[in-house]
């Protein structure tokens, strides 16, 4: 019950601030999006099993004070429809770019978290002219970027061991248990079939990039450092805490760390320089 109350407050505080929201037909799916604030476009890409609110609910009100924040639910997530095809980071990248075309955005900065960070990398690889700056938060580009036990867990991942707040959030915006199961199964398959992004492709990303990871993250600090060394001119920050704690992602809220208050200014300083 406590998680439901937290989610309800999150939806009220975020949804009431959206200057624009709706659906767009993109690459055969009906994609839900929200727009906040004014200024330079900043595109937020949520993590796997998540949606706009669960990943970015704490930081949208902060970022919208300076930027035109554009956020969306990706394929099969939240309020967005599905297609008769597996999820892929490449397809998500093309979907995000397709949405931006509908919104008449020709170039933007991108902030991707977790799976959304991997999607942001694919946008920079596949659509480099669209990208101003990149914030890659807990992003994965190689299978060895997480501990071996992560892959063991994914082999046995089920709806039962999916984090409760993520399930509650999905059902809050789409009360359909079948759609929830479909999303979870597609997310798992995408990770199990994940292949390394070749070094040459990572090196080809020439947009200014800020890499962020927690010191107790799912993504290892060593992997973040490897990405930093591959991407010329990138910056790296290792923040105390677990996966997503530095933006107060929904599953980390019980920690009451308040880290977003000092991490968001770091992100803004990078975007503004």
pLDDT tens digits, one per residue of 105-146: 999 999 999 999 999 999 999 999 999 999 999 999 999 999
Rounded to the nearest 5 percent, the helix, strand and coil shares of the chain are 45, 20, 35
List the domain boundaries for the chain.
2-272
Q: Which of 14-23, 50-59, 104-113, 119-128 has the lowest mean pLDDT?
A: 14-23
Q: What are phi and psi of 12, to 5 degrees?
A: -65, -45
Mean pLDDT computed over 206-223? 98
CATH of domain 2-272: 3.40.50.1820
Please list the alpha-helical segments (H only) found in 174-239. Answer: 177-192, 199-203, 221-230
| pLDDT at position 198 over 90 | yes
* Confidence (pLDDT) at 14: 53
- Please check whether residue 249 is in contact with residue 113, taking contact to mean a CB–CB distance below 8 angstroms: yes
Strand partners, 70: 35, 43
Which band of pLDDT confidence, cut at 50, 70 and 90, is reported for residue 7? very low
| pLDDT at position 43 over 90 | yes
Strands (E), the chain: 20-26, 29-36, 41-45, 68-72, 108-113, 131-137, 209-216, 235-242
| pLDDT at position 265 over 60 | yes
Secondary structure class of 216 (helix, strand, coil):
strand
Which band of pLDDT confidence, cut at 50, 70 and 90, is reported for residue 16? very low
**Length of the chain, please?**
273
Q: How many whole angstroms separate alpha carbon 52 and alpha carbon 60? A: 9
Look up the pTM and report it: 0.93
* Confidence (pLDDT) at 19: 80
């Amino acid at each position: 019950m406590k998680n439901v109350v937290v989610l309800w407050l999150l939806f009220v505080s975020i949804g009431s601030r959206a200057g624009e929201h709706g659906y767009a037909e993109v690459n055969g799916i009906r994609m839900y999006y929200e727009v906040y604030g004014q200024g330079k476009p900043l595109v937020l890409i949520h993590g796997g099993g998540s949606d706009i609110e669960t990943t970015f609910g704490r930081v949208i009100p902060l970022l919208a004070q300076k930027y035109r924040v554009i956020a969306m639910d990706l394929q099969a997530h939240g309020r967005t429809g599905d297609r008769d095809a597996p999820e892929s980071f490449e397809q998500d990248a093309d979907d995000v770019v397709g949405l931006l075309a509908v919104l008449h955005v020709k170039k933007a900065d991108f902030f991707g978290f977790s799976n959304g960070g991997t999607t942001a990398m694919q946008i920079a690889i596949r659509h480099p002219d669209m990208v101003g700056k990149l914030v890659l938060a807990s992003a994965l580009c190689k299978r060895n970027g997480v501990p071996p036990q992560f892959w063991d867990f994914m082999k046995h991942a089920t709806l039962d061991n999916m984090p409760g707040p993520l399930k509650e959030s999905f059902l809050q915006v789409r009360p359909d248990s079948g759609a929830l199961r479909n999303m979870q199964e597609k997310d798992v398959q995408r990770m199990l079939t994940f292949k390394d992004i070749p070094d040459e492709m990572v090196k080809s990303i020439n947009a200014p990039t800020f890499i962020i990871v927690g010191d107790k993250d799912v993504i290892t600090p060593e992997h973040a450092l490897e990405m930093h060394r591959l991407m010329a001119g990138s910056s790296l920050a290792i923040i105390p805490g677990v996966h997503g704690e530095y933006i107060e992602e929904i599953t980390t809220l019980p920690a009451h760390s308040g880290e977003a208050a000092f991490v968001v200014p770091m992100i803004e300083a990078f975007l503004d320089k």
